[in-house]
Amino acid sequence: MGSRRKARELALEVLYRYDLVSDKIEEIFLDIKKREDNSDIILFMQRISEKAIENIEYIDSIIENIAINWRLERMTYIDKNIMRLGIAEILFFEDIPIKVTINEYIEIAKKYSTDEAGKFVNGILDKVAKGAYNIKQ
């Protein structure tokens, strides 16, 4: 597994814990740093986690705008947070090719959720990449 993939998976853990049990982000980072000693992985994990959390309301409004008939409350914590990270990466990490971002999060969805989730994540992230939403930041 590449270091960026591992960082994305750890960022998913951060958002999942933040969302589900309301752990403080600093505490989550400390827990992860106890298990992971690669500074590049830690840095990227922190950057995408923080960007997603800083913009969570905006990102959630984009998801709800695109995911017709799917309210955030109906989505699993895993799927919702995979999409949050993918959208944050598409919107705020211009140095990463969008196709790479979308493919990474499809694979993460297949690994941690279902094949159907992979298709759903693909559809949402593809629409975000094309600017197919009507939300202003």
pLDDT tens digits, 54-90: 999 999 999 999 988 778 778 899 999 999 999 999 9
Query: What is the Cα–Cα distance from 93 to 97, expressed in whole angstroms?
Result: 9
CATH code that applies to domain 3-129:
1.10.940.10
- Backbone φ/ψ region at 114: left (φ over 0), alpha (ψ -120 to 50), beta: beta
Q: Dihedral sign, CA of 91, 117, 57, 85?
A: negative
Rg (Cα) of the chain, in Å, rounded?
14
Query: What is the Cα–Cα distance from 108 to 103, expressed in whole angstroms?
Result: 9
Band of pLDDT at residue 134, cut at 50, 70 and 90 = low
Q: Closest Cα to residue 125, out of 79, 76, 77?
A: 79
